[in-house]
Amino acid sequence: MSENWHPTPDLGHLPILTFHAFATPASTISFPPSVLRSRLARLVKKGYRSIDLLDAVQHLRIGNPLPSKAVVITIDDGYESVYREAFPILQEYAMTATVFVTTGEPVGRDRSDRLPPVEGQPMVSWSELSEMVAAGFSIGAHTLTHPDLTRLPASSAKAEIVGAKAILEDRLGVGVRSFAYPHGKYDPRTRELAAEHYSCACSDRLGLLTRGSDLYALERVEMYYFSRPWVFNLLTTPFLQPYLALRTVPRNARRSWTRPR
Ligand SMILES: [Zn+2]
């Protein structure tokens, strides 16, 4: 996408925040609910609001400036704690999020309400997802089984990318237009598949959404690295971009052993 764009004025930037599960104590995938509440309270106090991922992407597609004082919130995997812990807190602050759901295999799938566990973790139920959709949350696809797509044969990668969309749309009755690569991993082939079937795809590249973003390898800001107050507070300052640039090198060096999923 970006390579076809002609130079235009800076359209601004905003962070796409990434969360996974919500629990105490904090871990590589768990963000404590009490910390979420205080961080959102600070964002709201500073005049920030959440905007939908697809709305943010649409601004870039048509060349509109991104809104200032805005964040996009994404939550990967679809753990039960998204509904139980984060949903009420986000609603308290009039914020919404895109939940990227790993649906489970379609073959032999029962019609039970709760999604099959991912790595032993309890997942959201279809009725909980429907309740979040009714409250203005968006649902994105995060494959059937959360594989590293770059290691799969082409036919399996396609089944993972396209199959999840079909299941989500069938069970929830809404269009699913956004995708997140499991583990953030993509290659030219998986990127092309995502571009064929979705309006945008999130990677785990650290950075901000800007007019230079690849809409099928969107940069995000992993909240695991932003739980401490002084780091989180950078989100509302001009120091965010330089901080992320500094983080990129050490993070890449560490990613093999501490990266969240
Ligand atoms: Zn994931």
Residue 101: strand, helix, or coil: strand
Give per-residue pLDDT as tens, 147-197: 999 999 999 999 999 999 999 999 999 999 999 999 999 999 999 999 999
Q: In this predicted structure, which of 104-108, 131-135, 142-146, 247-251 has the lowest mean pLDDT?
A: 247-251
Alpha carbon of 13 to ligand 1 centroid (Å): 24
Q: How far is the CA of 28 from the centre of ligand 1 (A)?
A: 12
Q: Would you say domain 12-107+116-251 falls under CATH 3.20.20.370?
A: yes
**Across all residues in the chain, what is the average pLDDT?**
90
The reported pTM is 0.91
Give the pLDDT confidence score for residue 47 in this predicted structure: 96
The residue extents of the domains of the chain are: 12-107+116-251
Q: Does the pLDDT value for residue 127 go beyond 80?
A: yes
Residues 37-47, mean pLDDT to the nearest whole number: 96
Q: What is the pLDDT of residue 257?
A: 45
pLDDT value of residue 86: 98
DSSP state of 71: E
pLDDT in tens, 227-251: 889 999 999 998 998 898 888 765 5
Centroid of ligand 1 to alpha carbon of 10 (angstroms): 31
- 31 Cα–ligand 1 center, Å: 14
3-state secondary structure of 54: helix
**Percent of the chain surpassing pLDDT 70:** 90
Residues with Cβ within 8 Å of residue 109, at least 6 apart in sequence: 116, 167
Q: How far is the CA of 261 from the centre of ligand 1 (A)?
A: 5
Task: Give 9 Cα–ligand 1 centroid separation in angstroms.
Answer: 34
- The Å distance, Cα 11 to ligand 1 centre, comes to 29
State the distance from the centre of ligand 1 to the C-alpha of 183, rounded, in angstroms: 6
Q: Phi-psi bin for 213: left (phi > 0), alpha (psi -120 to 50), beta?
A: beta
Rounded Cα–Cα distance for residues 139 and 132 (Å): 9
How buried is residue 185: exposed, middle or buried, by Cβ count under 10 Å (0-12/13-18/19+)? Answer: middle
- Residue 15: exposed, middle, or buried by beta-carbon count in 10 A (0-12, 13-18, 19+)? buried
